[in-house]
């Protein structure tokens, strides 16, 4: 189960969560804090220390609502630390009534499970055979040992937590088909929903914060409900178990300095140090009772922030006193005797998350990359979340941290990057100046080109014949208005969409036999003059010429049915005949020595006669 989730946009990369995590399960990656599901032990303090709310617990309200809706028999198990959390509710009976108003059939005390577990511990310690144990009432303890001190698993007391013991006892009384929801201050308890089965199963877990949210959502207050009592089995001194050493006192296990065989401690640093010493020092010769949270369960991450540790502690003690005043001891003793016969044992499973230590040279190389090759450069500031620069370098090599998490290194790189950026900026400004001059020249050239292009187009449109230019793929580059008019209405419709038919395929506009003229002109850098072609009912005269060999050709097209074209063409062809005959006559003249002048005079008179008739 993934217990801790992230909101990327909220993360400011302050590394507070990295620093507080006992398992180093959080890494700043892709610009935000991310918790490793496999390494997390569920302590939840990364969430409580995050001021920007970039991290949050798995939310269970919706799952609990579904459980209540689908099941008639749902049991709520309340942790004794409710006394410290809900000081704003005047009576515990009102509190129970509010929980039942949410839809719970029964509300039981986890204090009874603590009583059962206390008796089991007393039996275990009383039957001492030289083996020392770590108590496991705090769910964080077994998860931490399984992952980071797996060699010590055999020293975890093989007894369930008070929560699980209460679930077993509640199902023993109300039926194995009942669903169980634990309400408490602990987020690690959410991980236990996947650890136990059968009568020991915890179906869902609500933190006190989530319970308050449900009260608010359904507008439940102590004035809106009838008061109710906790359902049996009732708890006794087990209500003290949220306080370090409390459940041991409940069953009169000696924790005194002189005669006691158990060391009790709490808090993140003491918790870790105690396990290390227990594992490594044979001289300790003590059982240890641990709470991860400083202040025990009364200050768990599922409680309302800002609570006063000693006030909550005193409220739990006062609550226990009141419970004992109304408790029927004979009934309690009977319930204890009956439920101690149940199986309250548990097993643990190694889940070794330790990383192999990197070689010394590898660490030195990493320190060098971090700019901390020399001792004087190792600030050991702890801003990255690690106690020393060497410890951080080891974490980087173990892929538990990223180099960017070192603030001093990041700052040095940032300053270097700033210098490089300034230098780059200066180069860019110089380049921009040159580009501006170039752009100005290009703009002038572009404007000149546009003027030339527009002038060319105007000139082409003034030519009475059709004019066209095409590329090597027979696509139109330029054409004038007369060319489009010669092709007819279809070409005009296309020209409305594509001005000047630019890009149009010539093969779709002219007959196939004329296309070969264009291909020839482009390929051979030659020209073809005066070829008559038919388009519909029009007779056109086509002259094709090469503009750039292999790349471009042009053509002039005339409508032969226009009177002025007919006259011009007739004159041109007669002139051509005269020129050819003159050449022939000249050749003959050389041979005959006469007749040339008369022949020319005759042909000229024909032309003059034609011009006179034309007028």
12: domain CATH number is: 3.30.70.20
pLDDT tens per residue across span 96-133: 999 999 999 999 999 999 999 989 988 888 888 888 88
Please, which pLDDT band fits residue 588 given cuts at 50, 70 and 90? very low
Residue 430: predicted pLDDT: 80
Same domain, 64 and 146: yes
Q: Is residue 254 part of a domain?
A: yes
Same domain, 492 and 524: yes
Spacing of C-alpha 494 from chain mean position? 50
Rounded to whole angstroms, the Cα distance separating 346 from 143 reads 13
Highest average pLDDT, of 171-175, 284-288, 512-516, 582-586, comes from 171-175
pLDDT tens per residue across span 319-366: 888 888 888 999 999 999 999 999 999 999 999 998 888 888 888 888
Same domain, 365 and 384: yes
DSSP secondary structure letters along 347-391: -------PPPPPPHHHHHHHHHHTT--SGGG-----TTSSSSHHH
Q: Is residue 231 part of a domain?
A: yes
Same domain, 372 and 487: no
Residue 46: predicted pLDDT: 92
Q: Is residue 200 part of a domain?
A: yes
Same domain, 28 and 1: yes
Q: Is residue 427 part of a domain?
A: no
Assigned token pair, 303 = 């409680």
Please, which pLDDT band fits residue 34 given cuts at 50, 70 and 90? very high
Residue 449: predicted pLDDT: 60
Residue 40: predicted pLDDT: 94
Same domain, 485 and 578: no
Residue 584: predicted pLDDT: 47
495: domain CATH number is: 3.30.450.20
Assigned token pair, 570 = 């007739």
Residue 595: predicted pLDDT: 43
Residue 325: predicted pLDDT: 87
pLDDT at 607 over 70: no
Assigned token pair, 312 = 């909550």
Q: Is residue 397 part of a domain?
A: yes
Residue 577: predicted pLDDT: 46
Same domain, 207 and 322: yes
pLDDT at 561 over 70: yes
Residues near 45 by beta carbon (within 8 Å), at least 6 away in sequence:
20, 21, 268, 293, 301
Same domain, 37 and 48: yes
What pTM does this model have? 0.66
The pairing of strands 538-548 and 552-559 is: antiparallel
pLDDT at 35 over 70: yes
Question: What average pLDDT does the structure give for the chain?
Answer: 82
Q: Where are the beta strands (DSSP E) in 143-246?
A: 179-184, 204-207
Residue 573: predicted pLDDT: 58
Rounded to whole angstroms, the Cα distance separating 545 from 555 reads 6
Residue 610: predicted pLDDT: 46
DSSP secondary structure letters along 213-226: HHHHHTT--GGGS-
Please, which pLDDT band fits residue 488 given cuts at 50, 70 and 90? confident
Please, which pLDDT band fits residue 533 given cuts at 50, 70 and 90? confident
Residue 259: predicted pLDDT: 64
Rounded to whole angstroms, the Cα distance separating 10 from 54 reads 5
Residue 410: predicted pLDDT: 64
Same domain, 537 and 580: no
Same domain, 316 and 389: no
Residue 339: predicted pLDDT: 95
For the chain, the distance separating the N- and C-terminal CA atoms, rounded to the nearest angstrom, is 106
Residue 75: predicted pLDDT: 97
Please, which pLDDT band fits residue 535 given cuts at 50, 70 and 90? confident
Residue 420: predicted pLDDT: 72
Question: Among residues 401, 358, 410, which one has the least CA distance to residue 379?
Answer: 410
Mean pLDDT of 539-552: 85
Highest average pLDDT, of 62-66, 192-196, 505-509, comes from 62-66
Q: Is residue 435 part of a domain?
A: no
Percent of the chain topping pLDDT 70: 83
Residue 564: predicted pLDDT: 60
Same domain, 276 and 366: no
Please, which pLDDT band fits residue 582 given cuts at 50, 70 and 90? very low
Range of the domain at 27: 1-58
Same domain, 37 and 64: no
Q: Is residue 596 part of a domain?
A: yes
Instruction: Give 259 or 124, the one with higher predicted confidence.
Output: 124
- How many domains are contained in the chain? 5
Q: Is residue 84 part of a domain?
A: yes
Residue 376: predicted pLDDT: 58
DSSP state at residue 233: S
Please, which pLDDT band fits residue 436 given cuts at 50, 70 and 90? confident
């Amino acid at each position: 189960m993934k217990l801790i989730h992230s909101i990327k946009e909220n993360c400011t990369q302050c590394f507070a969560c990295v620093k507080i995590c006992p398992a180093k399960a959080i890494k700043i990656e892709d610009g935000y804090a991310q918790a490793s599901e496999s390494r997390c032990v569920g302590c939840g303090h990364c969430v409580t220390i995050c001021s920007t709310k970039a991290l949050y617990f798995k939310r269970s309200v919706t799952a609990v609502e579904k459980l209540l809706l689908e099941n008639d028999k749902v049991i709520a198990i309340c942790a004794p630390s409710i006394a410290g959390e809900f000081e704003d509710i005047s009576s515990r009976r009102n509190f129970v009534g509010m929980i039942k108003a949410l839809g719970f059939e029964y509300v039981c005390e986890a204090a009874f499970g603590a009583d059962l577990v206390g008796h089991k511990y007393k039996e275990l310690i009383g039957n001492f055979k030289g083996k020392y144990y770590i108590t496991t009432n705090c769910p964080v303890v077994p998860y931490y040992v399984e992952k980071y001190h797996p060699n010590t698993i055999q020293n975890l007391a093989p007894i369930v937590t008070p929560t699980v013991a209460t679930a077993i006892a509640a199902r023993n009384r109300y039926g194995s088909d009942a669903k169980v929801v634990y309400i408490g201050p602990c987020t690690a308890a959410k991980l236990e929903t996947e650890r136990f089965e059968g009568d020991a199963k915890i179906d869902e877990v609500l933190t006190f914060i989530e319970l308050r949210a449900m009260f608010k959502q359904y507008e439940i207050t102590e004035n809106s409900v009838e008061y109710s009592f906790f359902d049996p089995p009732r708890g006794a001194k087990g209500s003290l178990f949220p306080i370090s050493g409390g459940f041991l006192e409940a069953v009169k296990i000696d924790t005194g300095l002189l005669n006691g065989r158990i060391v009790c401690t709490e808090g993140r640093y003491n918790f870790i140090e105690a396990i290390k010493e227990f594992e490594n020092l044979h001289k300790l010769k003590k059982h240890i009772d641990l709470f991860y949270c400083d202040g025990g369960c009364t200050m768990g991450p599922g409680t309302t922030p800002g609570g006063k540790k000693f006030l909550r502690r005193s409220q739990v003690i006062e609550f226990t006193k009141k419970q004992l005043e109304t408790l029927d001891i004979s009934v309690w003793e009977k319930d204890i005797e009956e439920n101690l016969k149940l199986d309250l044992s548990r097993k643990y499973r190694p889940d070794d998350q330790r990383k192999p230590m990197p070689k010394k040279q590898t660490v030195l190389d990493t320190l060098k990359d971090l700019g901390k090759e020399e001792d004087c450069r190792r600030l050991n500031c702890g801003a990255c979340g690690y106690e020393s620069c060497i410890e951080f370098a080891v974490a980087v090599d173990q892929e538990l941290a990223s180099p960017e998490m070192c603030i001093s290194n990041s700052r040095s790189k940032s300053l270097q990057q700033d210098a490089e950026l300034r230098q780059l900026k200066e180069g860019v400004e110089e380049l921009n100046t040159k580009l501006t001059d170039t752009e100005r020249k290009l703009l002038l050239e572009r404007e000149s080109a546009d003027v030339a292009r527009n002038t060319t187009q105007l000139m082409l449109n003034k030519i009475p014949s059709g004019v066209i230019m095409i590329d090597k793929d027979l696509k139109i580059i330029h054409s004038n208005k007369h060319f489009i008019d010669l092709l007819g209405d279809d070409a005009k419709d296309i020209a409305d969409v594509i001005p000047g038919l630019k890009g149009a395929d010539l093969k779709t506009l002219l007959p196939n036999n004329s296309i070969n003229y264009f291909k020839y002109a482009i390929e051979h850098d030659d020209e073809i003059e005066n070829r008559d072609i038919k388009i519909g009912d029009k007779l056109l005269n086509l002259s094709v010429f090469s503009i750039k060999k292999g790349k471009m050709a042009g053509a002039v097209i005339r409508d032969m049915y226009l009177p002025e074209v007919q006259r011009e063409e007739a004159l041109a062809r007669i002139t051509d005949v005269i020129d050819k005959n003159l050449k022939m006559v000249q050749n003959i003249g050389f041979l005959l020595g006469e007749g040339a002048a008369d022949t020319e005079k005759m042909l000229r008179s024909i032309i003059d006669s034609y011009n006179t008739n034309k007028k």
